[in-house]
Chains A and B, each alone.
Chain A
Amino acid sequence: MSEASPAKAYALHLGVIALLFVLSFVLPEYYYGLLARIMVLAVFAMGYNMLFGYVGLLSLGHAMFFGAGLYGAGLAIIQLGWSVPLAFLGGIACGAVLALMIGLLALRTTGVAFMIVTMMFAQVFYLLILYFATWTGGDQGQVVPQPARVLNFGATSLDLTNPTVRYMSALALFSLVLLVTLAIVRSRYGRVLVAIRENEERTKMLGYDTFSNKLIAVVVSGTICAASGAAYALLFGYVGSSFASVQYSILPLLWVLLGGAATTLGPLIGTVFMYYVIDVTSGYTSAYLLIVGVALILLVLFFPKGILGSIRQRWLGWLP
């Protein structure tokens, strides 16, 4: 796949990051805000892709990892009064621990049962948020107050509600996760994951412990999704139960399918594209769910490899 040209792959990814940086100076205000949000959600999609694309495990419960980060960071600030960096790390830790627990349980199943088990755990997580409404704010959600979203470094302070700071923070997180996933999928470990996806039995026979490899993948995937959730809470200041609902488990699947599963840049392309399509069509109709539904069916029927996956298959075999 990508063996031939490590330099080319890294150049491409650094190029994309540079492009996003340059774009921040030319974009009009509205798209500037939108792109910051898309980058945070693309991190969510990249986390999802880690498991779905590279290991071939279709989870229908990743909203709980996003939610764990979102609530972990948000509630740490609202209820406990933690500082921003501490809350961010707290949110990520919540996601990592939850992913470890869910992985240990759910990985005992495969295929269809895995999807249903992950969906059910996510549903329990969602219902728990509603049940403990006194702390979580229930289905109303809670707003993270603006003064709590300021980073202090001695004399200087960074206000995360400032559009420029917000864009650059989102870009920093996005770049970090993009480069980390690129490094993971190019590593020896990444090859083992793909081998498990292609033929788990054979991988087992080659002497790999597939369970622990898959477990690590679930934890990495959950942690990345939690990082996205934690960033969302801190940058956009809203913590709500809808982000933990089934719909938010399905959206990253849609973005990844659209952009191309098992491609490092696919999640970004899918997220950008879907947001753009919804943005354009919502000018004509409010039938947002219809578009999501039709897109899912058309993708799975005619375009199972997604945009970047098809490009890789036809023209650019070296894409990671």
Chain B
Amino acid sequence: MHFGPHLLLAALEGLVTSAVLALTALGLSLVFGVMRVVNVAHGEFFMLGAVLAWAITTAIGGHPALGFLAALVIAPLIVGAIALVAERLVLRRLNYNPEATIVATIGMLYIIQQLALSFYGPEARPVEPPFSYRILLPWFGYSGYKLSIIATSALLLIATWLVLTRTRIGLIMRATQYDSETAQAFGIPVGRVYGGVFALGAMLAAVAAVLIVPISQAHYLMGQDPLLLSFIVVIIGGLGSLRGTVVAAVLIGLSDGIISMFFSPTLAKIIATLLVAMVLVFRPQGLFGTASR
């Protein structure tokens, strides 16, 4: 292939990564924005979504679309419920102290990872895509399913944006994010909001995982990369900013796709990680928000 088609292919692959990354990072960003909790276990909720998608599609059988749609609904619900329990049992008791919650979510990460290893096993397992339709582009055919991931992700992001800006639930969440004490004084059940936001964040990661699993297989260690990339997106995009998250996700996804195709995936990760670390070092207050409030 020539350079042009190669670049287009890299850009398309990058956009698929961006779509999944935007959803995952949005979950992390909401949790940090509203609760001031850095959820290190976020990648494991992602992994759990993929593993559950495998379990659900295997259990249902029949036409792949049937199992996939069921997984798309059920897997995030289960992951959300698990996250809610974890929030109630652990994070709330720590009073959302930033450093203690980091240690606690590291603990959750290990527990979820080990449970996945024990019950699911170390193999990577495939999930059949709901449809296998190839769209013919001028130089090559491209998977229609991959394009539908981009569309689905865009729809979900718009839906989240509408909920956050146009509904009462969104208003309550923003009030809690802005000043949780005043919100409490005005009768907003801050504890319940925190529980809901933590579950919602985990569910967004799970949805993203269900979308990606037909092209990347489910594996118990698959949560590590999305976690790191989400951190990068959240830091570059700025906290609690949906627009920033999407822009950063597209930026990171595209550059990851292109650098990976023309150089090496490891080099792409090294460059992205180093750049973001430098951004954090030289503009900590600007990009990491008002951490000390």
Q: A111-B291, A123-B228 are in contact. Are A297 and B277 (CB under 8 A)?
A: no
Q: Is B266 in contact with A112, judged by CB distance below 8 angstroms?
A: no
Contact status B114-A287, CB under 8 Å: yes
**Which of chain A's residues have a CB closer than 8 A to the CB of B98?**
111-112
**Chain A residues near B115 (CB-CB < 8 A):** 290
- The answer, yes or no, to whether B100 is at the interface (CB within 8 Å) is yes
- Tell me if B166 counts as interface (CB < 8 A to partner A): no
Q: A131-B267, A293-B114 are in contact. Are A111 and B292 (CB under 8 A)?
A: yes
Q: Mark A73-110, 1 if CB is under 8 A from B, else 0.
A: 00000000000000000000000000000000110111
Quick one: closest A residue to B271, CB to CB?
Answer: A124
Give Cα A36–Cα B264 distance, bound, in whole angstroms.
Answer: 40
Q: How far is the CA of A253 from the CA of B103 in the complex (A)?
A: 9
Number of B residues with CB within 8 Å of any CB on chain A: 43
By size class, the interface of chain A is: 35 or more
Interface SS of chain A:
helix
Complex interface bits, A181-207 against B, C-beta within 8 A gives 1, otherwise 0: 000000000000000000000000000
Q: Which residues of B lie under 8 Å from residue A299 when comparing CB positions?
A: 103
Contact across chains for B110 and A301 when beta carbons are under 8 A apart: no
Q: B102 and A58: CB pair below 8 A?
A: yes
Determine whether B284 belongs to the interface, using a CB cutoff of 8 Å to chain A: yes
Question: Which of A113-121, A172-180, A210-218, A311-319 is the contact stretch?
Answer: A113-121
User: What string of 1s and 0s marks CB contacts (under 8 Å) between A41-66 and chain B?
Assistant: 00000000000000000101000000
- Complex formed: what's the CA distance from A301 to B106 in Å? 13
The B interface, classified by DSSP as helix, strand, loop or mixed, is helix
A143 CA / B164 CA spacing, docked (Å): 55
Q: Please report which residues of chain B, range 239-293, place their CB below 8 angstroms from some CB of chain A when the two chains form the complex.
A: 264, 266-267, 269-270, 273-274, 276-278, 280-282, 284, 288, 291-292
If A130-B266, A131-B267, A304-B100 touch, does A108 touch B284 (CB 8 Å cutoff)?
Answer: yes
Query: Please, how many angstroms separate the alpha-carbon atoms of A131 and B265 in the complex?
Result: 10
* Beta-carbon contact of A127 and B103 below 8 Å: no
Given contacts A58-B99, A127-B266, A287-B114, contact A300 B107 (CB under 8 A): yes
Chain A residues lying within 8 Å of B267, measured Cβ to Cβ, are: 131
Smallest CB–CB gap between B157 and chain A, Å? 24
Other-chain residue from A109, A290, A296 in contact with B104 (beta carbon distance below 8 A): A296
With known contacts A116-B235, A117-B280, A131–B104 Cβ distance under 8 A:
no
How many whole Å from A267's CB to the nearest CB in chain B?
A: 16
B163 within 8 A of A: no
Q: Are A108 and B269 in contact (CB under 8 A)?
A: no
Q: Any chain B CB within 8 A of the CB of A250?
A: yes
B231–A300 touching, CB < 8 Å? no
For A115, A127, A295, the residue with the greatest tally of chain B CB atoms inside 10 Å of its CB is A127
Is B103 within 8 A of A300, CB to CB?
yes
Query: In the assembled complex, which residues on chain A have CB atoms less than 8 Å from the CB atom of B264?
Result: 131
Q: Is there an interface contact between B107 and A124, defined as CB atoms closer than 8 Å?
A: no
- State whether A294 touches B107 (Cβ < 8 A): yes
- Seed contacts A110-B284, A111-B291, A297-B111; 8 additional CB < 8 Å A-B pairs: A105-B277, A112-B99, A112-B102, A287-B118, A292-B110, A300-B100, A300-B104, A304-B100
Instruction: Tell me the B residues contacting A by CB distance below 8 Å.
Output: 38, 90, 93-94, 98-100, 102-104, 106-115, 117-118, 224, 228, 231, 235, 264, 266-267, 269-270, 273-274, 276-278, 280-282, 284, 288, 291-292
Cβ-closest 3 pairs across A and B: A293-B110, A296-B107, A293-B111
